[in-house]
Amino acid sequence: MLKFEVAEVMKDSNTVYDIAQKVEYRQPLTSEEKEVAEVCDAWAKEIGETGHDKDHEIAAYLRRTIQDKVYNAPDELLDRIFERGSVGEFDSYEAVSTPKNTLVAYEAAKGGNVDKSWIDLRAVKPTWKNRQVETDISYVDLRKNGFKSIANLTTFANEALHNAMFYDVFSTIDAAITGGDQKIDVAGTLPTITAMDALELYLTDREPSESVAVCLRKYAQAIGRMEGFYNYMSGNMKDDFNRYGLVEGYGRMAIASISSAHRQGNGDLLIPDKKIFGIAGRIGTMDMKGQIHVYEDFDNNKEAVNIKVADFTYGYAITDIENVAKIVFTG
């Protein structure tokens, strides 16, 4: 009976995932959610006792959940700066840059000819990345913590894959901007009004309604403490800053702050330190490729379930890098 119940409840991986998170964070459950949690807990503990998962339900649950939570779920920041989509596992494509008006109006005599000029259209091939996570769940952990051990693995795998994608995107953006008006140097370790004004003006000239600055949270806090800036805040901004210690906007530019506590498993930050990135509108395309695959087998000698999350593949093409600028702290 237990096998049938598990197969039924696991069909809705989002609901099971949400219930697992409630259990993990000690949030109240409805009577129906309690029944689902009990079924999942008994199932996980039985695997820890027997070292056997006949229908590979762990792998099936992980695949459905990660597919929904990372592949198919909206991501507010990445959706804001990229046209998002998906392609088949064996497909590829080329992105086309936004047409730039490079036509030149020369002075000419009536009836005369001038040099030809052309509209700038460039094809851009995406950068493809393939990420993979491999780990174990011990039988002891399954017997002790039941479904919590699988829920934790799901949460951490989701975070690891999404964080890696975020890191790859911003590392590429960072490397693409090396000088000119797009690079604003600050001889210190904190933002200044002069630098923030320059960043906001650069973005506003390109897309005034859709500009956003992306930075670590410590810089969002430092922006609110810049000398003289507090006087320019609205009443609501002052209230929010006094309550949370962060600034969510500067002029017509929104501010998206990333916590330094959110790191990759190797300790790397999600975006480069000592920088504030400004992005005006969308700068390219980003596509998920195919579907993930999750493999599960058992090592009874080590008393562990081996888990492999593979084929987390994404590609991004930056077609409008001129819509990005950055502040660099050189102190």
Q: What pLDDT sits at residue 4?
A: 58
CB atoms within 10 A of CB 278: 28
pLDDT top residue among 239 and 320:
320
**Mean pLDDT across the chain, nearest whole number?**
85
11-20, 200-209, 254-263, 277-286: range with lowest mean pLDDT: 11-20
Q: Which has more confidence, 240 or 183? A: 183
Q: What is the mean pLDDT of residues 42-53?
A: 92
Alpha helices in 10-137 (DSSP H): 13-24, 31-50, 57-66, 76-81
Confidence of residue 1 (pLDDT cuts 50, 70, 90): very low
pTM for the structure as a whole: 0.82
pLDDT of residue 70: 64
Local confidence band at 318 (pLDDT 50, 70, 90 cut-offs): very high
- How many angstroms separate the CA atoms of 200 and 212, rounded? 9
Q: What element of type H or E holds 266?
A: none
CA atoms of 87 and 249, how far apart (whole Å): 35
Beta strands in the chain (DSSP E): 82-87, 95-96, 123-124, 127-138, 183-186, 211-216, 249-250, 253-258, 275-280, 284-289, 293-299, 304-318, 324-329
At 204, is the secondary structure helix, strand, or coil? helix
**Would you place residue 168 in the very low, low, confident or very high pLDDT band (cuts 50, 70, 90)?**
very high
Kindly indicate the confidence band of residue 151, based on its pLDDT and cuts at 50, 70 and 90: confident
- The model's pLDDT over 75-111, given as tens digits with 9 standing for 90+, comes to 888 999 999 988 877 777 777 667 677 777 877 888 7
- What pLDDT is stored for residue 210 in this prediction? 83
Per-residue model confidence as pLDDT tens digits over 256-275 = 888 888 888 888 899 999 99
**Per-residue pLDDT reduced to its tens digit, 280-313:** 999 999 999 989 999 999 999 999 999 999 999 9
Q: Quick one: residue 233, left, alpha or beta (phi over 0 = left, psi -120 to 50 = alpha)?
A: beta
Residue 73: band (very low, low, confident or very high) from pLDDT cuts 50, 70, 90:
low
**Per-residue pLDDT at 74 exceeds 80:** no
